[in-house]
Amino acid sequence: MLIKNPKSYELKEHQVTDETTYLNRRELLKKMGYVGTGSLLASASANAGPLDFFGKKEDDKVFARTALDFKAQPQDGSEILTPEAKVASHNNFYEFGLDKADPAKNSQGLKVDPWQLSISGEMNNPFTLGYDDLFKKYPLEERIYRLRCVEAWSMVIPWVGFSLADVIKAANPTSKAKYVAFETLYDPKQMPGQRSRRIGGGIDYPYVEGLRIDEAMNRLSFLSVGLYGKTLPPQNGAPIRLVVPWKYGFKSIKSIVSIKLVEKQPPTTWNILAPHEYGFYANVNPAVSHPRWSQASERRITTGGLFARNRIETLPFNGYGEEVAALYKNMDLAKFY
């Protein structure tokens, strides 16, 4: 269900899924220094400074991912996918370190089975999903979504999962269910960023996020359990994460253990940390700048090195306006950023 904007992308030729990347993932990861004999690259590509004490080497241990059964999304070649190796090595997941390369390095040991995702709050039918339920309870489908980070870079990612609405409907919400509150796993033993404020960027964990109920019920709101046809790697939020493609990436909370329906707008992590910079809504909006960077354009990360000309215009609602603009009909989006 790729909702495309015909203007910005029609120039692109054809789907480049980079078969070799796909097949030689391990080889590539090795080259990039995430597994194996901690090459020179490992420390240097991770961060520039000699003050980078974070670069822990978890030797030769890669999180095992399994292939999933799902309904594939027909690919029309309108957008170039971000290669899997890049999707899985450029992550903001401060529970595993601040540098983009840290999560891939520090999260490979994350235990996801058993897992408990509790669905609770203002509903008639609270329930809990165990690890196997995540892959069996709802029919899995693929969705190719653009992901726009608040830091002005973006990717195109083939997720596998199911609609958030399926879960909420099954819970049979009461009339008091006005918002949805999400929570990431809190496990300092496994998540070094939760143990140390230095590694975790001074955030108060667990990471929490939220949506308005009508946003959550929108058919684009997605719970992902996989990407590129396999279960999620930990750095991308294994075993289950939210994907709300019209909002900045930090809304798409990872490694979720709780989905709660609530009456009041729930607190959200980045909003608590810097309320002037990150709002509750965080809809992708080229007209409203982040105080420290413009949001008018973005760099699309696909293949190509330093000389890739990849700066493109940012679209309102990340190009998904047709689906979601109506949710914000009478709202001043400069005020509710």
Partner 1 sequence: MWLSKSIVHLASLLPLCWLYYHAINDTLGADPVETVIHFTGIGALNLLLITLLISPSAERFKQPKLLKFRRMLGLWAFTYALLHLLNFIAFELQFDWSLLFSEIVERPYITVGMAAFVVLLLLTVTSVNRIKKQMGPKWQKLHNWVYIASIAVVVHFYWSIKSDIYEPGIYAIMLAWLLALRKLKIKRWLKIG
Nearer to partner 1, 41 or 325 (CB): 41
98 binds partner 1 (CB under 8 A): yes
Alpha carbons within 13 angstroms on the beta-carbon side of residue 72 total 7
Residues 136-165 touching partner 1, rule: CB under 8 A, are 151, 153
Q: Is 252 in the site for partner 1 (CB under 8 A)?
A: no
- Please provide the DSSP assignment of 83-107 as one string: PHHHHTTS---GGG-SSTTHHHHH-
Residue 47 or 283: the one with the smaller Cβ distance to partner 1 is 47
Contact indicator for 314, 248 with CB cutoff of 8 Å? no
Name the token pair of 288. 């409203």
Q: What's the rounded Cα separation, in Å, for the pair 279 and 291? A: 12
47 binds partner 1 (CB under 8 A): yes
Which residue, 98 or 167, is less far from partner 1 as judged by CB? 98
**What is the per-residue binding string for partner 1 in 51-90, x denoting contact by CB under 8 A?**
x---------------------------------xxx-xx
Candidate residues 14, 297, 331, 336; the one interacting with partner 1 per rule CB under 8 A: 297
Instruction: State which residue, 81 or 301, has the beta carbon closest to partner 1.
Output: 301
Q: Tokens 């030689």 sit at which residue?
A: 24
DSSP 223-282: EEEEETTEEPPGGGTSS-EEE-TTB-GGGS--SEEEEEEESSPPP-HHHHH-TTT--SS-
Q: How far is the CB of 36 from partner 1 (least distance, A)?
A: 15
- Select the residue interacting with partner 1 from 19, 291, 330, 334 (CB under 8 A): 291
Q: Residue 227 interacts with partner 1 (CB under 8 A)?
A: no
236 token code pair: 């991308």
Q: Under the criterion CB under 8 A, does residue 217 sit at the interface with partner 1?
A: no
The verdict on 273 binding partner 1 (CB under 8 A) reads: yes
Cα separation, 168 vs 152, in Å, equals 31
Q: Is 46 in the site for partner 1 (CB under 8 A)?
A: yes
- Element of type H or E holding 32: helix 25-32
Site for partner 1 (CB under 8 A): which residue of 304, 326, 331, 336? 304
303 makes contact with partner 1 (CB under 8 A): yes
Q: 10 Å Cβ neighbour count for 249?
A: 20
In the region spanning residues 12 to 41, those forming contacts with partner 1, defined by CB under 8 A, are: 31-32, 41
Sheet harboring 208-212: ordered strands across?
A: 127-130, 116-121, 256-262, 179-184, 208-212
For partner 1, the binding residues (CB under 8 A) are 31-32, 41, 44-51, 85-87, 89-90, 94, 98, 100-101, 151, 153, 197-198, 201-203, 273-274, 289, 291-294, 296-297, 299, 301, 303-311
